[in-house]
């Protein structure tokens, strides 16, 4: 019997950041708990990857969990950046899919799309996991001949055991 290949998940910067989140506001605690639960119990159901932009973003500044976040991502495969990725980023910016910061959200989306990731996992609900933007992203990706990753949060990818329903 042929085994089915696991879906590929691109991990955006907010995933390791929220795993090590220290703020105490209820919404921050909830995101931290859902991220930890996904990482600790559901991650094994997927193949995971990230981009150099994630490592670079985690390395900037003096946030208290910086080394923990970088350590967490050390074993995650990094998807290569090519000239095609740069072209996709430019098109996302040209078509107002993402803000003009090409080292950020546009690059994450370009990497996930160009490498055929099934999911882009993020807590960035302003630019990425935003239902109001998904049709626009889908249209531009179709124009570029790219698949559309599901832009989602860890909460939506948690594995729920049938007996707990």
- pLDDT tens-digit profile of 61-113? 888 899 999 999 999 999 999 999 999 999 999 999 887 765 589 999 999 99
**Which sequence spans correspond to the domains of the chain?**
8-164
Cβ partners under 8 Å of residue 117, min gap 6 = 8, 9, 10, 49, 111, 149
Query: What's the whole-model pTM score?
Result: 0.91
Q: Work out the burial of residue 134: count CB atoms within 10 Å of its CB; fewer than 13 is exposed, 13-18 middle, 19 or more buried.
A: middle
The CATH class, in words, for 8-164 is: alpha beta
- pLDDT tens-digit profile of 56-65? 999 998 888 9
């Amino acid at each position: 019997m042929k085994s089915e290949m696991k879906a590929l998940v691109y991990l955006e910067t907010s995933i390791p950041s929220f795993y090590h989140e220290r703020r105490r506001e209820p919404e921050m605690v909830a995101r931290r708990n859902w991220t930890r639960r996904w990482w600790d119990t559901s991650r094994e159901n997927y193949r995971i990857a990230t981009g150099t932009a994630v490592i670079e973003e985690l390395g900037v500044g003096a946030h208290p969990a910086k080394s923990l976040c970088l350590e967490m991502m050390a074993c995650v495969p990094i998807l290569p950046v090519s000239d095609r990725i740069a072209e996709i980023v430019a098109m996302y910016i040209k078509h107002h899919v993402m803000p003009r910061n090409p080292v950020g959200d546009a690059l994450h989306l370009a990497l996930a799309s160009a490498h055929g990731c099934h999911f882009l996992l993020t807590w960035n609900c302003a630019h990425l996991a935003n239902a109001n933007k998904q049709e626009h992203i889908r249209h531009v990706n179709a124009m570029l001949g790219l698949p559309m990753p599901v832009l989602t949060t860890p909460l939506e990818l948690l594995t729920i055991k049938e007996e707990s329903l």
